[in-house]
Amino acid sequence: MGVTIRQIAEAAGVSRGTVDRALNNRGRIRPEVAERIRRIAKDMGYRPNQLGRALSMSKNNIKIGVILQSAETPFMKEVLKGVEEAREEVDSLGGTVLVCKIPHISQSDTLSAMEFMREEGVSAIAMVPMDEKEVKERINLFVEEYHIPVLTFNSDVKDTRRLCFVGQNAFQCGRAAAGLMGELTGGKGQVAVISGYRANTSLSDRVLGFQTEIGKKYPGVQVLGPEYCYEENPKARQITEELLKTYPDLKGIYLTSHGEEGVCTALKNCGKAGKIKMIANDFMGKNYQLLKEGSIHFLIGQDARIQGYEPVMILFRLLFRGEEPERELQYTEIYIRNEYTIPEV
């Protein structure tokens, strides 16, 4: 067991309260005394015991708000698990986490969720934002006027005073897909891009990263599309069928978003599943299954759990220990998986 504040107090010939004031820069202490105590603490190798700290501070009850959008999607459900995990941890350390699930995407719901959080007296908010002027202004209001730090996760909003962002670098994700596709095709032939929504910046960044990198590194590859399937299988299937008809020599498909079943059904129906190289995103839906059976060659994805867990913990560390986040942009790792690297369970 380590050195305690009591031992330092004895060594310095002062009270424990004084040691506390010195070590935590609380003021109301003569600078020389503070300096001397800090010296002694350092010499004795003092490391504050988080338990004592947390227990005694649990009166204050740190409260963290979390706002999720599209909470009904499989991905967000995974994110939510991470949030719950963090909630338990924060809970067991004497804090509280308040979660607000917005089922779809709604500006007004987002704004009122923020307001609700404020009324509940949260000390910080982690949220999936929207790229809308009013939301951005509200974020700035919270940070500047109410002094409630706001962290964005999953998607980011530029030009706001949000504390930091936790999520994927979508452009880089597209580049990773390009690298894979380039190798799978041997660097030549036609490949198509099928995306989800035109207006979704994460998805369009993936497309852009893919196109850019193919253009740069694999000039022998011709990129078709993007076509948009709105994450619907029938639409994805229809697009794929038309592509196959128009480009009988198609070598690969990059799917930035969901619709994997539709694409693979179309491929199977004309006997090209496994032949046409397919790369898809996220470890949800039928993706693992299609990877196992060989219709999908690679999956690119992110750790959804971490995307829920980290934002809460970053805020907790900020509020509880005053630790600032390490970076403004905390990009989550980009995972590449083939059929042999599917995690158990």
Min CB(16)–DNA separation in Å: 5
Among 17, 52, 215, 219, binds its own copies (CB under 8 A): 52
In the Cβ-directed half-sphere of 147, how many Cα atoms lie within 13 Å?
1
Site membership for DNA, residue 51 (CB under 7 A): yes
Site membership for its own copies, residue 55 (CB under 8 A): yes
Min CB(344)–its own copies separation in Å: 7
Site membership for DNA, residue 48 (CB under 7 A): yes
Contact code string over 80-109 relative to DNA, x by CB under 7 A:
--------------x---------------
Segment near DNA (CB under 7 A); pick from 21-29, 70-78, 247-255, 287-295: 21-29
Q: Considering CB distances under 5 to 8 angstroms, the limit depending on partner class, which of DNA, its own copies, none binds residue 5?
A: DNA
Decide: 129 and 155 in contact? Cβ < 8 Å: yes
Min CB(63)–DNA separation in Å: 14
**Tokens matching residue 263:** 């694409």
Among 43, 52, 104, 134, binds DNA (CB under 7 A): 52
Among 183, 242, 324, 328, binds its own copies (CB under 8 A): 183
Instruction: Convert the chain into a string of H (helix), E (strand) and C (coil).
Output: CCCCHHHHHHHHCCCHHHHHHHHCCCCCCCHHHHHHHHHHHHHCCCCCCHHHHHHHHCCCCCEEEEEECCCCCHHHHHHHHHHHHHHHHHHHCCCEEEEEECCCCCHHHHHHHHHHHHHCCCCEEEECCCCCHHHHHHHHHHHHCCCCCEEEECCCCCCCCCCCEEECCHHHHHHHHHHHHHHHCCCCEEEEEEECCCCCHHHHHHHHHHHHHHHHHCCCEEEEEEEECCCCHHHHHHHHHHHHHHCCCCCEEEECCCCHHHHHHHHHHCCCECCEEEEEECCCCCHHHHHHHCCCCEEEECCHHHHHHHHHHHHHHHHHHCCCCCCCEEECCCEEECCCCCCCC
Output 51 or 345, the one with its CB closest to DNA. 51
Among 8, 29, 176, 273, binds its own copies (CB under 8 A): 176
Among 11, 20, 81, 238, binds DNA (CB under 7 A): 20
Q: Considering CB distances under 5 to 8 angstroms, the limit depending on partner class, which of DNA, its own copies, none binds residue 338?
A: its own copies
Site membership for DNA, residue 24 (CB under 7 A): yes
**Tokens matching residue 102:** 């917005």
Among 186, 215, 220, 234, binds its own copies (CB under 8 A): 186
CB count in 10 Å sphere of residue 334: 17
Site membership for DNA, residue 55 (CB under 7 A): yes
Min CB(72)–its own copies separation in Å: 26
Output 185 or 233, the one with its CB closest to its own copies. 185
How far out from the chain centre does Cα 15 lie? Answer: 45
Segment near its own copies (CB under 8 A); pick from 145-153, 177-185, 188-196, 310-318: 177-185
Which residue in the block uniquely carries the two structure tokens 């730090």?
149
Q: Considering CB distances under 5 to 8 angstroms, the limit depending on partner class, which of its own copies, DNA, none binds residue 30?
A: DNA
Output 161 or 216, the one with its CB closest to its own copies. 216
Binding site for DNA (CB under 7 A): 1, 4-6, 13-18, 20-21, 23-24, 26-31, 33-34, 46, 48-49, 51-53, 55-60, 94
